[in-house]
Amino acid sequence: MIDIVLRAENLTASYDDHIVVKNVNLSIVRNSITAVMGPSGCGKTTLIRCFNRMHELSPKAKVEGKVYLIENLNGRREEIDIYSVDPMIVRRKIGMVFQKPNPFPTMSIYENVIAGYILNGIKLKKSEADELVEETLRKVSLWDEVKDRLKKKGTFLSGGQQQRLCIARALAMKPDIILLDEPTSALDPVATAKIEELLEQLKNTVTIVIVTHNVGQAGRISDFVAFMYLGELLEYGPTDTVFTRPLNEKTEEFLAGKIG
Amino acid sequence: MRSYAFRIAKSKIISVILTLVTLISTIPFLLVLYFIVKNGISVINWEFITHLPTPVGEPGGGILNALVGTVILIFIALILSVPFGVLVGIFLAEKSGSKISFFVRMMSEILQGVPSIVVGIIAYLWVVKPMGHFSALSGGVALGIMMLPVIIKSTEEILKLIPVEIKEASLALGVPYYKTILRVMLPAGLSGILSGILAGTARIAGETAPLLFTAFGNPFLNFNILKPISAMPLLIFNYAISPYEDWWAKAWGASCILVFFVLTLNVITRLISSRK
């Protein structure tokens, strides 16, 4: 049986009566990389912002439909309707990485990694914090680059390093899923390659949903791919299948670079 | 078509004129500085800043009452206006497009343009009249009102400059809104808020008009905020219009200290806001 971690049912999202995501039904497989692609303005970012309830922060934003997070607790499956619980809890379980690297400017590298704990007032012992910082920075292969300057501000790092720091910040909360919103669009090809490589290693511990504008990137790293067009989910399936035998002609046109 | 040399020359001339005009604009300030230092520096000594005024005709004496008074007045103004101004600034930045913000922003801008003597009258009506006498508190209220728009404006502007991604990063970590404001946004804008507060202080430090019928002045040392108190600009005003030559000299000395105090505040403000 396929292990599902997140399920969206009839999800519709709008800004000020302008519908951006139309009636999307989608199940995300645990410990996989799902790429959401589609032309600009197709609603891919809005879709993933509905998954951790960030969409509702925009003025006049509205969400209809259901999103369930499925957790495995000691072998018992538990479904959480994320729109019926505290959004703060949802956002700790479903992390997010943004388009532009955004480490907290007033915090050191060390503090940025455990920012979720510091800002939420969750107390960590010094040894626990040290361990968590090292472990997380190793996961994003940043440890060796920054271990001698953990007390320096995160904003002194290069763009790619900052983005890996932001991934570490999300991972440190030990989320079930991390959502990445075009995380490499502001980075150079070398930094992009590093992040892609990193994501493939991370999927053993966390489920990854990545929005990307870049067909090549979706093809390189994703297990599943969702194609959105004008707010609708037109096609969703294993990446190999969708890339070689797309069912929808719009998908084919997008893959061929005719729309986008 | 005109020659190349002509166009080069024209460009040079314009450039020289602009440079000259720019330099000329600093002359008023440099003249103020020159005269104040020339006339004031000889008066300033240790006794001048550590002693109270002597009766007219008696040599020596200082302006300690006014120095202490100005510090106390600024302190009262800060206590009243900083918490208020920063909170209003946060609201305006967060609810930027709302009708309340539009209204409050406009009111704050108008308040900034209200003549200082009018602010003094308002503090007189609000504080001096109900209390029945002049006081440091009423002067602090007047100065606080004058400072408020500066702090509101600088807090709002600096918070708006912080990228929305920083705020979203915090919210996406499950940090509640109020903690995001307190622990992420305010620290990120701290240097800007501080320089706003310093700029506000510099603005009120030399205000005379709002103090004329609030703080009123006091030739003695006073630490009680419910009693009249002296201040540097008040002392300068009173000494300058007096008929005594000795007092004129002291007014120059006090002016010199006041100008350098404000100058220092402005320089620190510059340093803080350019450190980023």
- Residue ranges per structural domain of chain A: 4-255
CB contact under 8 A, B174 and A96: no
Domain boundaries, chain B: 64-246
Does the domain at residues A4-255 carry the CATH identifier 3.40.50.300? yes
Q: Which of B237, B231, B268, B230 is nearest to B251 (CA)?
A: B237
Query: Rounded to a whole number, what is the distance in Å from the CA of B164 to chain A's nearest CA?
Result: 9
pTM for this entry: 0.85
Of B97, B173, B184, the CB nearest to A91: B173
Q: What is the pLDDT of residue B275?
A: 66
Contacts of B190 in chain A (CB under 8 A): 106
Q: Which residues of B touch A95 (CB under 8 A)?
A: 172-173
Contacts of residue B188, Cβ cutoff 8 Å, sequence gap at least 6: A104, A105, A106, B162, B166
ipTM attached to this prediction: 0.91
**pLDDT tens figures, B37-84:** 999 999 999 988 998 988 887 888 889 999 999 999 999 999 999 999
Q: What is the pLDDT of residue A72?
A: 84
State whether A100 and B180 contact (CB < 8 Å).
Answer: no
Contacts with B98 from chain A: Cβ below 8 Å: none
From its phi and psi, is residue B132 left (phi > 0), alpha (psi between -120 and 50) or beta? left
Determine the Cα–Cα distance for residues A9 and A21; give it in Å rounded to an integer.
Answer: 12
Phi-psi region of B24 (alpha: psi -120 to 50; beta: other; left: phi over 0): alpha
Fill in the DSSP letter of residue B229.
B
DSSP helix/strand/coil, B97:
coil
CATH T-level topology, domain B64-246: MetI-like fold (1.10.3720)
Digit-by-digit pLDDT tens for chain A (260 residues) are 788 999 999 999 999 889 999 999 999 999 999 999 998 888 999 999 999 999 998 888 999 999 999 998 877 888 999 999 999 999 999 999 999 999 999 999 999 999 999 999 999 999 999 999 999 999 998 999 999 999 999 888 999 999 999 999 999 999 999 999 999 998 899 999 999 999 999 999 999 999 998 899 999 999 999 999 999 999 999 999 999 988 888 888 888 888 76
- Side chain identity, residue B244: Y
